[in-house]
Amino acid sequence: MKVFRSCLAGLAGLALLAACAAPAPVWHEPLVAATPTVSPTPAEPEEITLAFAGDVNFMGRTLKLLDNPQTAFGPIADVLRGADLTVVNLETSVTERGTEQPKTFHFRAPVTAYDALRAAGVDGVSIANNHTLDYGQVGLLDTLDSADAAKMPVFGAGRDVTEAYAPWLTEVHGVRIALLGMSQVHELASSWKATDTRPGIAMAFDSARAVAAVQAARKQADLVIVYMHWGIEGNSCPSAEMKSFAAKMASAGADIVLGTHAHTLLADGWTGNTYVHFGLGNFLWYLPSWSTDSGVLRLTVHGRDVIAREFLPATVSSTGQPIPLTGAAADQLRRKVAGVQRCTGLRATHP
């Protein structure tokens, strides 16, 4: 409070005004209690739902689906859109240029493939597979450039080795997620692998670099996911090479390891606290293949733990679209997948 004082003196018979000097103002500051420093309590991580599906390709019968990208995936798109984050493997280059590589099958798609993926609720795609370079480095660079233009996140390949092994980093309900893609397919691996001076794929065969990539992602994210391209075509059991690599990824800090390539469904389980699914089969596919069995893997995650998993069965139809199964047909496919769990070498339940 600020206090002023004044005085007035009068003399008899003479009106004289005498000024009294006022003392200096006095300020009285209020007392404020010191506020103790309290560390904020970390927010409890939210549960999030992740959806994963297998190989997607736009050739032959599935190319026709791009005449209307908004409906290309058919009714199963509702399942994909229902998750907080949805990821598939894009088993094709996206290009109109390039030269066919020395291999049997060559896949490419127009840029409207990204429109179809986005319309179906797909948030990001792995391109670490044995078809991304079907039309050479030109085709790969076109795939990367068109993904950037379409604002579709891709991972598992890049313009050099650093980009190829870099994770796609995203955030869902406050949970930071890192997704890495890698290939364990041997065909043309030596010439398709990314280097310091060459675009290419992130290859699992360079285990030191693969482990380092997961360890680096672990420092950047709350949840680390590795989407693999691996396995033996037509074989519903994982190879020793797959099992060994899944264990390395788990030891390096991956929370979820899953993949595709065998064109048939494999099974899942846990190694330590890491959830592993060895094979999601075909999803949207251009011709009859080893199996028409398909589906969507839906995981509920809390922190770093997969606390619930559900496989939503489907079948690849004559249009190439995956059609959800219900009733007895769905139960039969679930039993079929459960039957091959014994060859995974994984725990069937969370430890």
pLDDT in tens, 13-39: 434 334 444 444 444 444 444 455 555
Domain assignments of the chain as residue spans, ordered by start: 47-343
Give the integer Cα–Cα distance in Å for 184 and 278: 12
274 — pLDDT class (breaks 50, 70, 90) = very high
For the segment 310-318, the average pLDDT, to the nearest whole number, is 98
pLDDT of the residue at 45: 78
Give the integer Cα–Cα distance in Å for 246 and 53: 18
47-343 in CATH: which number? 3.60.21.10
Give the integer Cα–Cα distance in Å for 37 and 276: 43
The answer to whether the CB of 132 falls within 8 A of the CB of 157 is: yes
7 has pLDDT over 60:
no
For the segment 131-149, the average pLDDT, to the nearest whole number, is 98
Looking at this protein, which amino acid is placed at residue 95?
Answer: T
pTM, two decimal places: 0.88
102 has pLDDT over 50:
yes
337 has pLDDT over 80:
yes
pLDDT of the residue at 26: 45
pLDDT of the residue at 39: 54
Mean per-residue pLDDT over the chain, rounded: 91
Non-local (6+) Cβ contacts of 103 within 8 A are 134, 187, 188
* Angle (nearest 5°) at CA 122 between 119 and 125: 130
For the chain, give the percent of residues with pLDDT over 90.
85
- Closest Cα partner for 321 from 53, 111, 18? 53
How many alpha carbons lie under 13 Å from residue 334 in its C-beta half-sphere? 15
- Closest Cα partner for 207 from 197, 217, 198, 215? 215
Helix (H) or strand (E) holding 140: helix 136-150
Can you read off the two tokens belonging to residue 277? 């699914």
For the segment 180-199, the average pLDDT, to the nearest whole number, is 98
239 — pLDDT class (breaks 50, 70, 90) = very high
Can you read off the two tokens belonging to residue 95? 């290009």
How many alpha carbons lie under 13 Å from residue 158 in its C-beta half-sphere? 20
- Closest Cα partner for 284 from 39, 44, 88? 88
